[in-house]
Amino acid sequence: MSLDELGAVIGLLIYGGVFETSHEHRESPYKMDGTGRLVFIVIMAKNRFQFLLSVIRFDDKATRTECRLEDKMAAFSEIWDMVIGLRKSLYLVGLAVCIDEQLLAFRGRCGCWQYMLKKPSKYRIKI
């Protein structure tokens, strides 16, 4: 995998997150019947994208348990810090800024979700 391919995979994942492709079948962005997303088809072949998603890892198996004791996102923290740094350099804050939080419904493997008994979707992540 080259750095360009890694950038393309991360870019497609971000694009998919913005347009909520996570709620679709994993092959639906690649459909050729007019319902797919052209950007997926143009940037990377479906088989290559799915293969890279299945083999990509961001941690070292030898130090995994030690790192998780310190930081639950240790495997992805370095990449996340790079993304945040890039966002900070591209976004200029004005005099008035409003920062808000949001709870997103989530049911998966994550150590930072919250359980709320009285909500329709009981498992959520705070962003």
How do the domains of the chain map onto residue ranges? 1-56, 60-92, 98-127
Q: What percent of the chain has pLDDT over 70?
A: 90
Residue with tokens 């979700």: 113
Is it the case that residue 52 has pLDDT exceeding 80?
yes
In three-state secondary structure terms, 123 is: strand
The answer to whether 72 and 113 have CB atoms below 8 angstroms apart is: no
Q: Is 29 exposed, middle or buried (0-12, 13-18, 19+ CB in 10 A)?
A: buried
The answer to whether 77 and 85 have CB atoms below 8 angstroms apart is: no
Positive or negative, the CA dihedral 16, 11, 58, 123 is negative
What does pLDDT average to over the chain? Answer: 78
Instruction: Give the pLDDT score at 14.
Output: 80
In three-state secondary structure terms, 118 is: coil
pLDDT band at 22 (very low <50, low <70, confident <90, very high): low
pLDDT band at 119 (very low <50, low <70, confident <90, very high): confident
Instruction: Give the pLDDT score at 97.
Output: 79
Torsion, Cα of 19, 22, 27, 29 (10° steps) = 0
Instruction: Give the pLDDT score at 111.
Output: 67
Q: Beta strands 103-105 and 114-115: pairing type?
A: unpaired
Is it the case that residue 108 has pLDDT exceeding 80?
no
Can you give the pTM of this predicted structure?
Answer: 0.56
